[in-house]
Amino acid sequence: MSAIPTATRVSPPRLSARKRNILPSAITLASLILISGCTVGPDYVRPKMDLPIAYKEQGPWKTAQPSQIDSHQRWWEVYGDSILNDLIEQANQANQNIRLSEAQYRQAQATASLARASLWPTVGASAGLSRAQTNTYDSLHLVNTDAIGLSASWEPDIWGAVRRSVEAGDAGTQASAATLAAARLSIQATLAQDYLQLRVTDLQKDLYQRTVVAYTRSLELTKHQYAAGVALRSDVAQAETLLLTTQAQLIDLDATRNQLEHAIAILVGKAPAAFSLAPVKSNAAALQASMPAIPTGLPSDLLERRPDIANAERLAAAANANIGVARSAYFPSLTLGASGGYSSLTYGQLFDIPSRIWSLGSTLAATLFDGGARSARTDQATAAFDAAVATYKQTVLGGLQEVEDNLSTLRVLDQESVTQDSAVKAAQLSERLALSQYQVGTVTYLSVVTAQATTLTNERTAAQLLGRQLVASVALVKATGGGWHASDMDAVATTNTAKTTEPANSAN
C-alpha cells in the first residue's frame, strides 16, 4: 500500500527586524516626495496698468515715431562729440555710484545663491580625540576615545518654502541688475547734460568776447567824436558803462563753467584739481545740428525699457514670493539625517569593523501655537506686496510723466527758438541801423546803447534756449530708457537656474 502524500505548509519568509524598521520610513519618505511638488502662496502675475496707446505730446506738431533706441546703441554718440564719448566711457569705468550699484548687484547674486543652496543636503565631517576620567565601582579609570565620521542632513522642500525663497532671490537679483542699469543711465545722462551745458557756456563766452570787442570799438568811436566836439561826455559814459557791464557778465560765466567742469570731474571719478576741459570754438549752428530727434516708442514700451520700472516690478515679484515663504510656516517640516563613522578607545582599532557606528533618522516638527506670529508674518508679507505693487504703478506713472514733460518741453522750446532766431535777426538789424544813424548824427548814443543791449540779450537768450533743448533731449533719452531693455535683466535668473538642478523634485 502506497503512502498517501500529505500537504506541507510553507511559511512565508520573515523580514528581519532591520528591514521591518526601514520599510515604514521608506514608504513615508516616498509619500512625502510625491507631495513635495506643492508650493504654497500665490503665483506671481505682473500688476496690470491701464496705459494710453500714445503720448499726449506726440500731437500735430510732430509725426509719431514708435521706433525705439536700439539696446546696443551708445545713445550719447548721436550728439557727435568725441570728447563726450570719451568722458562717458571714463564714467562707466570709474564712477563710484556705478561701482556701488555693481557691488550691490553682486551681493544680490550671492543672496540668491544662498537661498538656492537650501535645496541641497548638508554634509559634514568630524574628527575628535578625547581623554576622560570615569569612576566605576570606586575605581578611577582614564579613557581615551578616538572618533571620525561623516554626517548629512536634508530638509525636503515639501511645501515650497525654499523654492519661494529662490524665486524671491532671483527676482531680487533681477531688481538689482535693473538698479545697476538705472544708476549707469543716470550717470551717463547727468554727464551728458553737464557737458552740453558747459559747451553752451563756451558758446556764450565766445558771444560775450566778440561783443566786448565790438563794444570796445564803439567806445573808441565815441571818444573820437567827443574829442571832435560832435558827441557829448554822457555818450562816452554810456559806452563805458555798457562795455564794463558786458565784461562783468563775461567774468560771471567763468563761475558757471567752473562748476560744470567740477561736476564732470566727479562723475568721471576724478578730483576737480586733476581734471580740466579746454574750451572749444563752437557755434550755435554746429550744436543745433548735433541735437538728435529722439524716438520715444509707445507708452507700453516703458514697462520694458525703463530700468527703474523693471526694478519696481521685480521687487513686487519678490514680495509675492515672500508671501509663500510666510505661509509655509503653517505646515510641518521634515528633516532627514544620517551619520556614520568610527569610534574606538584605541587608535590602532579605530578602523576595525567593531568600531563602526551609524545612525539614520527623521524628524517631523510642526508649530502648534505661536500666539499669532505666523499669521502676523503672513499679513506683513501681504502688506509688503501691496506696497510693492503701489510703488510699481506709481513708478510707471512717473515714467509717463517724465516722457510727457520732456516732449512738451522740446515742443515748446522748438517753437520758441524759431521766434527767438527771428528776434535776434531783428535786433542785429536794429543795432546796425542805430549805429549808422548815430555816425551821421541823426540819433543820440542812447539809441545805439539800447540797440546793442537788446541784441546781446537776444543772442544770449537764443544760446540758453539751445542749451535747454539739448538738456531736454538727453532727459528724454533717459525717460525712455536709453536703449536698455528688460531682456538684459531677464537673463540673470535664467543663468542662475540653469546652474542648479533641484534635487528630488521640481517646482510646479
pLDDT tens column, 44-59: 999 998 888 888 876 5
Exposure string of 459-488, with b = 16+ CB inside 10 Å and e = fewer, is bbebbbbbbbbbbbbbbbbbbbbbbbbbeb
Confidence of residue 70 (pLDDT cuts 50, 70, 90): low
State the Cα–Cα distance between residues 430 and 457, nearest whole angstrom. Answer: 13
State the Cα–Cα distance between residues 478 and 483, nearest whole angstrom. Answer: 9
Of 9 and 174, the one with more pLDDT: 174
pLDDT of amino acid 4? 38
State the Cα–Cα distance between residues 279 and 199, nearest whole angstrom. Answer: 8
Confidence of residue 441 (pLDDT cuts 50, 70, 90): confident
DSSP H or E stretch at residue 182: helix 161-227
pLDDT exceeds cutoff 50 at 483: yes
Mean pLDDT of all residues in 464-487: 90
Q: Check: CB of residue 431 under 8 Å from CB of residue 454.
A: yes
pLDDT of amino acid 7? 38
pLDDT exceeds cutoff 50 at 11: no
Of 490 and 30, the one with more pLDDT: 490
pLDDT exceeds cutoff 70 at 23: no
Count the neighbouring beta carbons within 10 Å of the beta carbon of residue 6. Answer: 5
Express each pLDDT in 315-374 by its tens digit: 999 999 999 999 988 888 888 888 888 877 776 677 777 778 888 888 888 888 889 999
Confidence of residue 68 (pLDDT cuts 50, 70, 90): low
Cell digits of residue 215: 563794444
pLDDT exceeds cutoff 60 at 1: no
Express each pLDDT in 220-244 by its tens digit: 988 988 888 888 898 899 999 999 9
pLDDT of amino acid 21? 52
Mean pLDDT of all residues in 477-500: 68
End-to-end CA distance of the chain: 74
pLDDT of amino acid 502? 44
Exposure string of 74-100, with b = 16+ CB inside 10 Å and e = fewer, is ebbebbebeebeebbebbeeebebbee
Measure CA 140 to chain center: 70
Confidence of residue 130 (pLDDT cuts 50, 70, 90): confident
State the Cα–Cα distance between residues 146 and 348, nearest whole angstrom. Answer: 10
Confidence of residue 133 (pLDDT cuts 50, 70, 90): confident
pLDDT of amino acid 67? 53
Helices (H), 352-372: none
pLDDT exceeds cutoff 70 at 13: no
pLDDT of amino acid 497? 46
pLDDT of amino acid 37? 56
DSSP H or E stretch at residue 476: helix 445-479
**What percentage of the chain reaches a pLDDT higher than 90?**
40
Bridge partners, 144 (sequence order): 131
DSSP letter at 44 equals P
State the Cα–Cα distance between residues 394 and 389, nearest whole angstrom. Answer: 9
Q: How far is CA 456 from CA 156, 327, 470, in A?
A: 79, 71, 21
Domains of the chain: 39-118+175-194+262-330+375-498 (1.20.1600.10)
Distant-in-sequence, close-in-space partners of 316: CB < 8 Å, separation ≥ 6: 44, 46, 47, 385, 388, 389, 391, 392
Confidence of residue 425 (pLDDT cuts 50, 70, 90): very high
pLDDT exceeds cutoff 70 at 289: no
pLDDT of amino acid 9? 40
State the Cα–Cα distance between residues 153 and 124, nearest whole angstrom. Answer: 9
Of 72-76, 365-369, 382-386, highest mean pLDDT = 382-386
DSSP letter at 15 equals P
Sheet holding 333-344, edge to edge: 122-136, 139-154, 333-344, 356-365
Question: What does DSSP say about strands 356-365 and 122-136: parallel, antiparallel, or unpaired?
Answer: unpaired
pLDDT of amino acid 59? 56
Bridge partners, 124 (sequence order): 151
Confidence of residue 308 (pLDDT cuts 50, 70, 90): very high
pLDDT exceeds cutoff 60 at 87: yes
pLDDT of amino acid 296? 80
State the Cα–Cα distance between residues 189 and 470, nearest whole angstrom. Answer: 11
Q: Which residue, 44, 157, 162, is CA-closest to 114?
A: 162
Confidence of residue 417 (pLDDT cuts 50, 70, 90): very high
Of 378 and 18, the one with more pLDDT: 378
pLDDT of amino acid 508? 35
Q: Which residue, 306, 308, 391, 415, is CA-closest to 57?
A: 415
Q: Percent helix, strand, coil in the chain (nearest 5)?
A: 65, 10, 25
Q: Check: CB of residue 170 under 8 Å from CB of residue 378.
A: no
Residue 57 sits at φ, ψ, to 5 deg, of -80, -5
pLDDT exceeds cutoff 70 at 20: no
Q: Check: CB of residue 87 under 8 Å from CB of residue 264.
A: yes
Q: Which residue, 242, 268, 254, is CA-closest to 201?
A: 254
Express each pLDDT in 174-212 by its tens digit: 999 999 999 999 999 999 999 999 999 999 999 999 999
Which pTM was predicted?
A: 0.80
pLDDT exceeds cutoff 70 at 33: no
Supply the mean pLDDT for the chain.
82
Q: What is the CA radius of gyration of the chain?
A: 40
Confidence of residue 395 (pLDDT cuts 50, 70, 90): very high
pLDDT of amino acid 10? 39
